[in-house]
A and B are shown apart, each in its own frame.
Chain A
Amino acid sequence: GAVVSQHPSRVICKSGTSVKIECRSLDFQATTMFWYRQFPKQSLMLMATSNEGSKATYEQGVEKDKFLINHASLTLSTLTVTSAHPEDSSFYICSARDPRTEPVYGYTFGSGTRLTVV
């Protein structure tokens, strides 16, 4: 079935630095990927929809200059948290749509990235 690989699984960075998170679809081409943020004991909040070859669509309240999303190929989307601050510490999860399996299995999720900004 569809597999989405997300790296790194954990990252600790200093305040003011930038962190890049990668989301790869391993065995399918993902024209659309989604980036979510999850706070402790809370639900997943959609940050943006990433479309291959075009600009990402950000949800209201999400700073597009802070959370840079690039979807340059059909198998890779990246989320870069720029000038990270402690309040950016969170669990980030990507999701991808495989047209072959979506009708049966829905979207496929990465394993998530735990970002800690110190």
Chain B
Amino acid sequence: AQSVAQPEDQVNVAEGNPLTVKCTYSVSGNPYLFWYVQYPNRGLQFLLKYITGDNLVKGSYGFEAEFNKSQTSFHLKKPSALVSDSALYFCAVRAPMDTGRRALTFGSGTRLQVQP
């Protein structure tokens, strides 16, 4: 079974500072990894995705994530945080295509709070 862990319930960072939101995963085979952001009472917005290729993936709104196979991690990063980045962030994994399981499995979410 696949699983995702986000060890931090909340991350606090000052505006302009770099931010990291941690994610580790467990899945058989090569994973499909995602980051989504959720604003209050809204659905999820796609940030970025890793399937294969470069370990550093660049996404929306200046976010990027680094895939580390040996550590089974996919941490979300941004060089300079904005107050408007404050939201709930979810890491998700999908099993490889040949498993037939297409649904995403989500981590518990990390609330990012960026202080002015």
Contact = CB atoms under 8 A, between A and B. Distances in A.
B49 interface: yes
Nearest to A45: B106
B39 to A, nearest CB: 10
B63 interface: no
A34 B104 CA distance: 9
Nearest to B109: A43
Nearest to B108: A43
A46 interface: yes
The range of chain B's interface size is: 10 to 19
The range of chain A's interface size is: 20 to 34
A107 B35 CA distance: 11
Interface in A31-67: 32, 34, 36, 41-44, 46, 49
Interface in A94-110: 95, 97, 103-110
A6 interface: yes
Contact of A112 (B42, B51, B90, B104): B42
Nearest to A105: B46
B41 interface: yes
Contact of A111 (B36, B43, B49, B108): B43
Given A42-B108, A43-B109, A106-B34, A49 B43 contact: no
A44 B106 contact: yes
Contacts of A110: 43
Interface of A: 4, 6, 9, 32, 34, 36, 41-44, 46, 49, 91, 93, 95, 97, 103-112, 114
